[in-house]
Structure 1
Amino acid sequence: MTFTLKFKDIDEKRDIPKENYTIKDLLNDLELSSQTIVPKQNGDLVIEESEIRDDDEIQLVQIIYGG
């Protein structure tokens, strides 16, 4: 089972490493903070607890802070 990850210059298929693999697990694996990332699953905004399923497209959008 695989999903597509899109983040910055990354656009690749990845294996789903375990059952009940969530957006939060993915962020942890990539060492990214949920406070600076907005996750989208198949085009829809989702929460960290959303489970990644076979053939999903996961897009991670970096939040830019400024002042």
Structure 2
Amino acid sequence: MKEGAYHFINKSIAKGFVDYAGTGLDKILPPTSRRQGAREKKKQIVLEKIEKIVEVFVGI
């Protein structure tokens, strides 16, 4: 896992939710084309996965 992704997930767990604002998520996304919404689709998939991780660890 990239260090940026690790930091983003740890920060989200500490907050108790995934913060969609800012550039933190954009920094950890893999390079994708901005054409035809490919980047937005990938961003949504990554967000869903991170939300699942955060839900598991919040409150532990």
Give the TM-score range, shorter chain.
under 0.3
Q: Tell me which protein shows more strand as a share of its residues.
A: 1
Give the TM-score of the pair, scaled to structure 1: 0.26
